[in-house]
Structure 1
Amino acid sequence: MPQTPFDESERRIWAGTAEAYAAGFGGLCAHPVPRLLDAAKVGAGIRLLDVGTGTGAAAKAAGARGARVTAVDAEPGMAAGVARTLPDAAALIAALPQLPFRDGAFGASVGNFVLNHVGRPLAALGELRRVTRPGGRIALTIWAAPGAPGQALLGRALQAAGVTRPPHLPALAAEDDFPRTADGFAGLLRAAGLTDVRCLPLRWDHHATAEEWWRGPAAGVATIGRIVTAQRPEVIERIRGHFVELSREFTGTDGRLVLPHAALLASGRVR
């Protein structure tokens, strides 16, 4: 299946960002991992696929539960990082919706926020269903829309600086998108042929210093980071100034940011 323009854009956006992602947004994205593994019923002896592994947070936690883990990521630096830090896990470069595994190869599959970065989410789920054995569970997280206030901080700083999303960054095609709500996410899993579908909202506060939170976009991590780093130096400084000002809304008594976030966790069973 050929990549969509959205897929191709995502590959460019994330290229070479493994270390910067781990130092910033990686900690935020690791928060749902325990509940993600619970939803997939990951335990000792199960053969697990962690797709879009990123920093390897889910792979590491699954290994601690005694699972036999295979971790894949489209970004070579992410896969290499997992190979270095988790020698007991198999780490490969691969991307949805085409995975190099036989049918029913895994007892369970998880993807922590990976569906936010694929151009054909339904096809991606179909591929996860293919490589997961009958009776096995698939569990995934996505960011909810609308999001919580902490998720909007960086975007608000861009907007205040007069910076908009450039037209050359493609969005998901309308026919491939789905509502980022509990009903919408659950409906996607059912459309992919999964049964016993469950979807739970997740809310938590992410704690970081303003410097830590700015570090990711300043290094070009994710779409927002690519937008920031594409600006002239004086515009970047203007964005940073608005970010510092807006951050005061989220600053706790200890001087650190308290950033509310909202996600969705959905799981289903392969027939």
Structure 2
Amino acid sequence: MHTEPKVVIILLNFNQQKNICECLESLSKINYKNFQTILIDNCSTDNSWSFLIENYPDLLKFKTDENSGYTGGVNFGFKKAQEFNADYVLVLNPDTLVTENFLTALVNGLENDISAAAAGGLILTEHDKEKIWYAGGKLVPWRGLAVHFQKGEILKNIKITKIEYVNFLTGCMILFRVDLLKQIGEINEKFFLYLEDIEISARMIKKGFKLLYIPDSIIYHKVFGEEDDIMKLYYSVRNRLLLINIMNKGLIRIISNLYFVIVIHGKLIYWRFMNKQFFVAASKGLDDYYTNNFHKGNGLDCFYK
């Protein structure tokens, strides 16, 4: 009989067959036993869905009617977690590799702190396992963004070595309490991809919940080359303005809007001459924000590679 709290792990797939297989392999080696992995396929256009059906017959799988993005996929997973009477639901990027103790550390952290609604852990880069990608984070409302502590620094120089409260958790890995999901609310599907984790973190903080950073929970994230992703740029530009005007009120909203408009237009001038792809993606992101073209927008159709 299990004494561990039940965890549902949500894995989203869109044309990520290799990453999904490697992530599932790493999950098979963890020391936490009472978990159920749910794979949600966002209408993949490659053969990953048929491959997963054939090669992972015991994996619980669902295919959406349309590509609902990260946001829609996570919300679908939230509903399934409640159907399974789970205590916790873990949102985990498919392009990650987990360590043996990562889930045990997350669950223990939340079990020992009933004031916390969600938790995340230490995320290192997969291509350089001694480099930090996320070691806690914080919201920066006047800039309309969040920052990762010590991003790009070497692991041996890590500063936070014990559990601490933070006010931003990256969507790459978040463990939520299922019994608080109704109070927290769904992920805002207008975002589709990117920056929705900042909005949900800010929302939880505003509702009075605490967020835990647990450094003993370690995973590796495949982020090599993310700086050149034009689809990410499109969604980041469009969603930055969306985030600012949802997250901020009053004077901070005015300051953050002004700051972003000045910064992005400076970058547009540079990109117009130095990087035409970035210029087109960022311009389209701005256009889609101002024309209320949210959710999938033009990102997937115009900039997906």
TM > 0.5 fold call: no
TM-score by length of 2: 0.32
Point out which structure has higher relative CO (alpha carbons under 8 A, 6+ apart).
Answer: 1
TM-score by length of 1: 0.35
